[in-house]
Amino acid sequence: MKDYEHQILWLDYFNKNLSKRRGRKVSKSRAVFDPSIDELAEAAKLAGYEIVESNNNVRYPRRAYTRSSYIVIKKKDSKSSVLKKIGDMLVQIRSKKSN
């Protein structure tokens, strides 16, 4: 049964190494190279979303040959606006780490 109260966010949505065809869902300006599940969770919390679940040992359907991860958040906004907000936070987190 479909869950309308939660959204799943895969790491591959924010991976700058991937093309849109391979699973990236945000623009390259909102993506980072090889994001980690910890960075994604931190970005979601900073953007104001509550994390319900995370899974580290799964495979993203478009890249079934590679292990990936995802988080599940409570739904507040449309998925595109959620991806934009979390993508912006990921870029900010990554830029702080590099400085």
Tell me the pTM.
Answer: 0.90
The CA distance from 74 to 97, in Å, is 27
CATH topology of domain 6-98: Phenylalanyl-tRNA Synthetase; Chain B, domain 1 (3.30.56)
* Higher per-residue confidence, 97 vs 36: 36
User: Which pLDDT does position 93 carry in this prediction?
Assistant: 94
Sorted by where each begins, the domain ranges of the chain are 6-98
User: Which pLDDT does position 98 carry in this prediction?
Assistant: 76
Given a cut of 90, is residue 2 above it in pLDDT?
no
User: Which pLDDT does position 10 carry in this prediction?
Assistant: 95
Assess contact for 6 and 62: CB atoms under 8 A.
no
Half-sphere exposure (Cβ direction) of 67: Cα atoms closer than 13 Å: 5
Average pLDDT over residues 24-33: 95
- Integer CA distances (angstroms), 18 to 21, 22, 24, 25, 26, in order: 8, 6, 6, 10, 10
Average pLDDT over residues 26-32: 96
